[in-house]
Amino acid sequence: MKKLLLTLASAGLLAGSLAAHATPEQDRQQLLDHFKKAFPKVVYDDYVYGALAFDADSKAQYDSIMEFPPFLTDIEKGQKMWETPFKNGKTYASCLPNGGKNIAGNYPMFDDKTGKVVTLEGAINKCRTDNGEAAFDLGDMKGIGTLTSYMRTLSDGMLMNVKVEGPAATAAYEAGKHHFYARRGQLNFSCATCHVDNAGNRIRSEMLSPVLGQATHWPVFRGGDKLVTLHDRYQGCNKQVRAVPFKEGSEEYNNLEYFHSFVSNGLPMKASVFRK
């Protein structure tokens, strides 16, 4: 195991090598070219399945589980939360674009008024506070986690369509990109160490997933019933490399999600799925 970790830590095929002055679209294309060369048989849309795209047996097991997902009760609870009116009689659908349908792929988005990246969870919390309700704690899986387990299904099939327009938005994107490629923690890993350079390789019994498609399927139910949001997973990754994690909804994680989501533009969304 120690030898494997050292191998992963020292690898450097692409991590940190994206041009500093490349446009976001050039960054995305460079990643596409890297994975096309590394995995020529993988169909682009299959990257939404993460590491399952590299393992036919695991993908078959996933398909079988998704026929009768063990977490349907949780999604039904999320639907009830979504449809329950606020005290003022309004609903989430009344204060989100298009009634909340086919919008998740547009997030995160940059808000020029506040000068910050807004995630979908941030937009949901603004909807709540605008209607006199308390904002959810972003680490509350029974609150924001359960709600989004249903709400994001309203965008299933939508193609990721994150926009980076203007100097301020580009600066936020670049901050997220830097976070993705910066090494941290006692193991001196970056996000790219595992999910670019070593995607498709195994660490212990787990195959490492590629960055392409990672932002398309959250939240996930790990092991069948443990709800995990994207920022919760960011925290888990930081802890695994022995780095101090940031708080869910922090500017650091919002910017990371901005970059992370943009590079999956053009891939179809599929929310609330099973993962090991």
State whether 112 and 222 are in the same domain.
no
Pairwise CA distance, residues 144 & 147, whole Å? 5
237 labeled part of a ligand binding site: yes
- Pairwise CA distance, residues 234 & 248, whole Å: 9
Provide the pLDDT for residue 253. 98
Asked, for residue 160, whether it belongs to a domain, the answer is no
pLDDT (mean) for 192-214: 93
pLDDT bucket at 28, cuts 50 / 70 / 90: very high
188 belongs to a structural domain: yes
Of the residues 155, 189, 219, which one is the last residue of a structural domain?
155
Which of 133, 155, 177 terminates a domain? The answer is 155
Q: Is 194 a known ligand-binding residue?
A: yes
| pLDDT for the residue 204 | 79
- CB contact set of 126 (below 8 Å; sequence gap of 6+): 118
Six-digit token string for 206: 């787990």
Alpha helices (runs of H) in the chain, residue ranges in sequence order: 2-10, 24-38, 56-67, 72-83, 92-95, 120-130, 146-151, 167-181, 191-192, 230-240, 251-262
Q: Average pLDDT of 41-70?
A: 94
pLDDT of residue 223: 82
At residue 196, the 3 state secondary structure works out as: helix
Q: Does 80 map to a domain?
A: yes
pLDDT at 5 over 70: no
* Domain extent for 120: 76-155
Same-domain status, 200 and 240:
yes
Co-location of 177 and 114 in the same domain = no
The pLDDT assigned to 2 comes to 43
Domain count, the chain: 2
Instruction: Give dist(CA 276, CA 205) in Å, integer.
Output: 11
Provide the edge-to-edge strand list for the sheet that holds 226-228. 226-228, 220-222, 273-275
- Check the CA dihedral 207-213-215-219 and report its sign: negative
pLDDT digits (tens, 9 = 90+) for 138-150: 999 999 999 999 9
Instruction: Answer whether 194's CB lies under 8 Å from 208's CB.
Output: yes
Instruction: Please say whether the beta carbons of 146 and 84 come within 8 A.
Output: no
Q: Given pLDDT bands bounded at 50, 70 and 90, which one contains residue 18?
A: low
Q: What CA–CA distance (Å, rounded) separates 218 from 50?
A: 12
Mark whether 187 and 235 lie in a shared domain: yes
Report yes or no: 253 and 231 within 8 Å, Cβ to Cβ: yes
Q: 179 and 63, same structural domain?
A: yes
Among the residue ranges 17-21, 74-78, 231-235, the one predicted with the least confidence is 17-21
The verdict on whether residue 202 carries a ligand-binding annotation is no
Q: Mean pLDDT throughout 183-210?
A: 93
For 108-139, the pLDDT digits (tens) are 999 999 999 999 999 999 999 999 999 999 99
| pLDDT score at 1 | 42
Q: Which tokens is 125 given?
A: 């919390």
| pLDDT confidence tier of residue 19, bands split at 50, 70 and 90 | low
Separation of first and last alpha carbons in the chain = 20
Does 195 carry a binding-site annotation? yes
Average pLDDT for 8-22 = 55
Question: Residue 222's beta-bridge partner residues?
Answer: 226, 275
Contacts of 215 (CB under 8 A, 6+ apart): 160, 230, 257, 260, 261, 264
What confidence category does residue 20 fall into, taking pLDDT thresholds of 50, 70 and 90? low
- Token pair of 92, please? 């989430």
Residue 105: which CATH number?
A: 1.10.760.10
Assess if residue 176 is contained within a domain.
Answer: yes
The whole-number average pLDDT for the span 253-258 is 98
The residues carrying an active-site annotation are 237
**Is position 161 within any domain?**
no
Mean pLDDT of the chain: 92
* pLDDT, tens digit, 9 for 90 and up, residues 216-252: 999 999 987 799 999 999 999 999 999 999 999 999 9
Q: Any binding-site annotation on 275?
A: no
